A and B are shown apart, each in its own frame.
Chain A
Amino acid sequence: QKEVEQDPGPLSVPEGAIVSLNCTYSNSAFQYFMWYRQYSRKGPELLMYTYSSGNKEDGRFTAQVDKSSKYISLFIRDSQPSDSATYLCAMSRGGGFVNTDKLIFGTGTRLQVFP
């Protein structure tokens, strides 16, 4: 079993839809949770960062962490064609690589938003 599980998709939605992307994990020591966005043929870029449980909102994006269920989510409101990309969850025990802890990534979910 992988430490981090993520449905690879693809997920195809119409413009304006609310998108829900999710990851589950097995290591209860994870405390830092991130979402990266990767456009085709590009490197991933940080989209959202949360610490421990709770919600964080940034514009059309909301990240949720439920440590009791070992489940994290990314919601995208009013989705746009420009949101079409692969979304990767990532997590670690320490702050990024503090104490040489690794950043563990999910496989990524490919999202397509059509006009």
Chain B
Amino acid sequence: GAGVSQSPSNKVTEKGKDVELRCDPISGHTALYWYRQSLGQGLEFLIYFQGNSAPDKSGLPSDRFSAERTGGSVSTLTIQRTQQEDSAVYLCASSFQAHNTGELFFGEGSRLTVL
């Protein structure tokens, strides 16, 4: 497709389970970002991948969160031992190189509910 694709669009899980969220960026975009959006909150930066450089993981809230990007394309965000406070919409975005206009292209998000 032409846009950023995320799956699943909705995920309901039980507290303590692990979840994986997938992001397929726009073809040719070298930068990929994960953000989290909770009710009434802004977009919280989680992690950023740029080409072959080491990812910026400074926004990951705990060691239960990890992400990888395989082959410079698809990325997976993994949350281990989920907690209720992890419930949020997880948004993935991509952009072309280190852009100068601030234009991130977002997917529609993965809505995670932890019971």
Q: Which residues of A contact B (CB under 8 A)?
A: 4, 6, 8, 32, 34, 41-46, 49, 88, 90, 92, 95-100, 102-108
* Bound-state Cα–Cα, A71 to B102, Å: 18
Q: Which bucket holds chain B's interface residue count?
A: 20 to 34
* Bound-state Cα–Cα, A97 to B53, Å: 13
* Bound-state Cα–Cα, A107 to B93, Å: 18
Check B50–A95 contact: CB distance below 8 A: no
Q: Which residues of B contact A (CB under 8 A)?
A: 4, 31, 33, 35, 40-43, 45, 48, 50, 56, 58-59, 91, 93, 95, 98-109
Query: What residues on B are CB-neighbors of A99 within 8 Å?
Result: 98
- Given A41-B109, A95-B101, A102-B56, 19 extra CB contacts under 8 A: A34-B102, A43-B108, A44-B43, A44-B106, A45-B105, A46-B101, A46-B104, A49-B102, A49-B103, A88-B43, A90-B43, A96-B99, A96-B100, A97-B31, A102-B45, A102-B58, A105-B35, A106-B42, A107-B42
**Closest approach, in angstroms, between the C-beta of A25 and any C-beta of chain B?**
12
**Closest approach, in angstroms, between the C-beta of B45 and any C-beta of chain A?**
5
